[in-house]
Structure 1
């Protein structure tokens, strides 16, 4: 195996998805601890002077105790080069999460064992399912009283339509939680409630080994455990690596992220079972990183002001094939220009360092003076483009104005940068005497983040006036039908590329317009791929 092949096959790039408060940021930090990337985990919801989660670097995240933007975390572990994409759990920031998932080769689905599959988990799972990527499940908070493990497995199948194979199985739960049994490795990991990090690992010949009776000490608990294992062996799904890689079977791991119990076991299994960088569809066909050795990659995220002192802007690039070298020249396919990439960085959330090279599967940051857009393809050699980024119709709209006229220049700069990084969608009124700017977002909390960031990053105070619309549809057509539509239809706006968009208050209004103009096409996004 060549150096390039070994570099690619030891890469693991995955996203963590969950409903808010399932413990996602905590799990992320424990993985970083095991990887030696940090020495001490932060607190997700800490007081003013306490440490904050390493992945929550934005000031508003620290104050609110939530993740509002995806972050990239990279570390080495046991010969693997791991890239974690930590995504916002809150549904109001789902568009950022959806785009980030396009850069992942697999996903870890974190579920609160007391609550089961929740709404946001279902939404994010669907995106993973559409992409056909492997999904690994971590049932969290086993040290608290939760639901029956069989119920949780049944819910995965009923609500998500995915079969499951528990790699390990809990002995007890909540106050009676005694540990987990690893079905693949045939070993027992004992839980010590007084010191959860102190994990005794005992090799056994199987679930009937008398050692289990000795160390657990509770005959009823052990008997229940053996019955459950027997039921799994007889009626449960068999372990099937092919089914896992195709996203049809999810391996389940039980543990507690906050106490670090089961996290390292999960990491060890995950790295062996999860895929190295996968092939990607492009305008030139499938790009397989092991066969296509030229550099290529796509921008899936842009973040302004990661370093407030420098007011900089970073484009996050997923490398899909080849080797990236600092200072190399690449083709920027959308603009047709050649770029020299001099300051590539890798990340630990907000922290970053200049790197000399990177490989397929890696996520690198590129200094962005305003050159890049989300979805841009960069290539070495032949020109081609990767599939477009997911892009969703906003559901909430507000007219936005600046309070102080003297701040207009900073206001426009802030709006432009936040639009380009995908934090908001910006529209302008069409055919009106007084032009207005309208902000569209997927979730209302994005308005609060917009207001906060404009104030703290661009020193601009804004006024938001909510509008009654719930749908935006891009309109495509030509000739008299389009001219009549533009003349007669109310609530028309244009997007940042000048394309016509119509805003509707409700589904009835939208259906009426579609029926009235059969020669026009109405689309849910600006890429004209998802017709209503």
Structure 2
């Protein structure tokens, strides 16, 4: 195996997704704790303690206790290089999460044992199914009263439309939670509630041994043997290929807050999760082992460092090796660029890297040269696909609230729109700016960030719109006629493409019927 192959095969790049409050950020922290990347876990919920969660570093995230931007973190564990992307669970930020799923090789879904599968998780699972991404499930909060484990497994199969396979099994739950039996490694893990220490585990090759009673008592021992027998009767043995194809999801039980069951998940994950996989470009399929560097930008983040007003473009490396100060081709601009300070992340702490390999995610300082979906290569003309912007569902006019700060507002809007948080449309009729988002919360985030990061005040004004659709047509006369008739509802997006802002479903349906040669698109990728 060459040096390049070795580096690529020890990479594990995955995203953690879930419904808000299922414990995603807490799980991310505990994984970092095992990787030695942080030394004390932040009590996420408590505002008294100034240590907030490592992966939530934007001011607004600390105040509201939710994650609004995807953060990237890398650490070494057991000879593997693990890259975690922690995504926002809140559905108003779904678009950021969909895009993140294009940059990972596998996914861990966190489910709350009391609430089971929730709406947002179903949606995200659809994206994983579409892309055939391998999935693992972590059922969290076992130390609280929740649903019966067998019911949870049935619910997962029914709701997520995927076969599941338990690789650990809880011994009771709630107040009397005793621990889990690790089926994958055949050992017993006993639970002592503690946020900072890891619990003891006892090797158990033979679950029928009478020693089991000494640890968990007669009643629970009998129930555990019965459960395990039932599981081995109903569920197949673990076949790693079926998992890699995305057809079966291994399930682990535990409590992330109390550090329990997390190590079992991580140990199994690094052993069976996929190393970087081939990525489909429009021209051809790109394999990670190819010596030439290729990568695409899946996210842009403004102001990672409040002292420097800079943007950072996140690049997912698809093949080969990236080197600092080497020249790479920016395909869309068709020019060579070199980067003197590429960075790797540990939440907000970032360090300059000299090299990175397929599967890694690096940050490049961006002065407005990048857009989401841009490709960088060693010289080949490639275009990676599958980074959509969805048609927004909520719209407001954005107005300047402080005439002295017009320039700051303009710059702020430009940079925040480059991140792809929301979309900007300029109405061609009255030249007013309209912001479109997928959720209400984004308007608050934009207003907050404009004020705190750019010193610009904005105010929102209502506008009644139903949907934004990108339009195109080979029939130039019909297109011109349409634009003339709908002049009040025509806008341009950031790229200068024509967008029709329909004010009701009825108007849109009529437009589609009356203008047969015009194509109406609901994502910006066409």
State the TM bucket, normalised to the shorter chain: over 0.9
- Aligned partner (choices 446, 449, 454) of residue 453 of structure 1: 449
Distance apart, 1:198 and its partner CA: 4.8
Distance apart, 1:44 and its partner CA: 2.1
Distance apart, 1:45 and its partner CA: 2.7
Task: Tell me the residue number matched to 1:126.
Answer: 126
Distance apart, 1:328 and its partner CA: 0.7
Superposition RMSD in Å? 1.3
SS in 1 for 2:123: helix
Task: Tell me the residue number matched to 1:246.
Answer: 245
Asked whether the 8 Å contact 1:45–1:64 carries over to 2, the reply is: no
SS in 1 for 2:175: helix
Task: Tell me the residue number matched to 2:23.
Answer: 23
1:183 and 1:209 map into 2 onto residues whose CA distance is 15
TM-score, normalising length: structure 2: 0.97
Residues 349 and 242 of structure 1: is their aligned pair in 2 closer, same or farther, counting only changes over 3 Å?
same
1:67-86 alignment, distance < 5 Å = 67-86=67-86
1:41-60 alignment, distance < 5 Å = 41-47=41-47, 50-60=50-60
- Gaps (5+ residues) in structure 1? none
Distance apart, 1:509 and its partner CA: 2.8
Task: Tell me the residue number matched to 2:485.
Answer: 488
2:3 and 2:437 map into 1 onto residues whose CA distance is 45
Task: Tell me the residue number matched to 2:362.
Answer: 364
Distance apart, 1:207 and its partner CA: 2.7
- Gaps (5+ residues) in structure 2? none
Task: Tell me the residue number matched to 1:293.
Answer: 291
Distance apart, 1:154 and its partner CA: 0.8
Distance apart, 1:13 and its partner CA: 0.4
Asked whether the 8 Å contact 1:46–1:65 carries over to 2, the reply is: no
Task: Tell me the residue number matched to 1:207.
Answer: 207
2:134 and 2:512 map into 1 onto residues whose CA distance is 38
Task: Tell me the residue number matched to 1:232.
Answer: 231
1:351-379 CA distance string (max 9 Å, x none): 10111111000000001111111100000
Residues 506 and 46 of structure 1: is their aligned pair in 2 closer, same or farther, counting only changes over 3 Å?
farther
Distance apart, 1:90 and its partner CA: 0.4
1:450 and 1:108 map into 2 onto residues whose CA distance is 29
SS in 1 for 2:351: strand
- Aligned partner (choices 495, 501, 524) of residue 497 of structure 1: 495
Task: Tell me the residue number matched to 1:442.
Answer: 438
1:57-456 alignment, distance < 5 Å = 57-193=57-193, 197-217=197-217, 219-290=218-289, 292-430=290-428, 432=429, 434-456=430-452
1:195 and 1:421 map into 2 onto residues whose CA distance is 36
Distance apart, 1:48 and its partner CA: 5.6
TM-score, normalising length: structure 1: 0.96
Distance apart, 1:49 and its partner CA: 5.0
- Aligned partner (choices 476, 479, 493) of residue 479 of structure 1: 476
Distance apart, 1:220 and its partner CA: 2.3
1:23-46 CA distance string (max 9 Å, x none): 000000000000000111112233
Distance apart, 1:123 and its partner CA: 1.1
1:495 and 1:194 map into 2 onto residues whose CA distance is 52
Distance apart, 1:517 and its partner CA: 1.3
1:155 and 1:470 map into 2 onto residues whose CA distance is 35
1:198 and 1:414 map into 2 onto residues whose CA distance is 45
2:456 and 2:193 map into 1 onto residues whose CA distance is 50
Distance apart, 1:468 and its partner CA: 2.1
1:53-101 CA distance string (max 9 Å, x none): 1100100000111101000001111101111001111000111111111
1:109 and 1:506 map into 2 onto residues whose CA distance is 36
